[in-house]
Structure 1
Amino acid sequence: MKFQFAHNNFNVLDLERSLKFYEEALGFKSARKLEGPGFTLAYLSDGGQTQHELELTWIHGRKEPYNLGENEFHLAVRTDDFEAAHEKHKAMGCICFENEEMGIYFISDPDGYWIEILPPSM
């Protein structure tokens, strides 16, 4: 028996705002959408570099932010140009934590989810 990663899920308050953020910050684009009664799922792709997707779930009509607790979970992505990515994210104002000692940093999406940015060698 074998298992493969398929996707991670983040619940979002404003799907269009989140789609725009993920495309601008990481180049992730919506690969497909699934509409259900009262919800929309958007699956983001890294352009075929991996099969892994990020599923954004939008519950129609929800207004209150999601409780992320202490936000001790995150999504990690690797970039081929760490310095350029850092400059881009700095200009966007979305860097929320830097660990220079480890050579990594985190960005925060519009709903407060953290995404770890890794250099190519990690």
Structure 2
Amino acid sequence: MKFTFAHNNLNVYDLDKSLAFYQEALDLQVVRTKEASDGSFILKYLGDGVTPHQLELTWLRDMDRPYELGDNEIHLAFQVDDFDAAFKKHKEMGCVCYENPSMGIYFIEDPDGYWLEIVPKR
């Protein structure tokens, strides 16, 4: 028996705002959409165009407030080939939430408060 990654999921409050963020910040594109016949949810699967891994953004119609992440200590990591250009872009976007120069990494925060680690391609 062999397990392989399929996707990661993040629930989002404002789907359009999140889609715009992930496209601008990380150049992720929608590769697949699933909508409930009763309108109760929309799933948008985002891809990087290189790897088979996808990020599933889930919007729930009945969620009437932003998500409370509490002490949610999970994060997704993205590798980038031009670390300095990415850092500059994310600084300009105002989404850098934590820098760790000694490790050579930083984190950005999406519209729902999820942290995304940016690491240089080594």
Bucket of the pairwise TM-score, normalised by the shorter protein:
over 0.9
Report the equivalent of 1:94: 95
Letter of the 1:72 partner, please give it: E
Pairwise CA distance, 1:70: 1.4
Normalising by structure 2, report the TM-score: 0.96
For 2:18 and 2:115, locate their aligned partners in 1 and report how far apart those are by CA, in whole Å.
Answer: 13
Instruction: After superposition, give the CA deviation of every residue in 1:50-92 in whole Å (9 maximum; x if it has no partner).
Output: 1100000000142211121213100001000000000000000
Pairwise CA distance, 1:33: 0.5
Letter of the 2:94 partner, please give it: G
SS at match of 1:56: strand
List, as ranges, runs of 4+ consecutive aligned residues in structure 1 with deviation greater than 4 Å.
Answer: none
Letter of the 1:6 partner, please give it: A
Q: Identity of aligned pairs, percent?
A: 60
Report the equivalent of 2:27: 27
SS at match of 1:33: strand
Normalising by structure 1, report the TM-score: 0.96
Report the equivalent of 1:69: 70
54-63 vs 7-16, which deviates more? 54-63
Q: How does 1:1-122 map to 2 (within 5 A)?
A: 1-36=1-36, 37=38, 38-47=40-49, 49-121=50-122
The count of corresponding residues between Structure 1 and Structure 2 is 120
Pairwise CA distance, 1:44: 0.3
Structure 2: runs of 5 or more not aligned: none
Structure 1: runs of 5 or more not aligned: none
CA root-mean-square deviation: 0.8
Instruction: After superposition, give the CA deviation of every residue in 1:77-113 in whole Å (9 maximum; x if it has no partner).
Output: 1000000000000000000000011000000000000
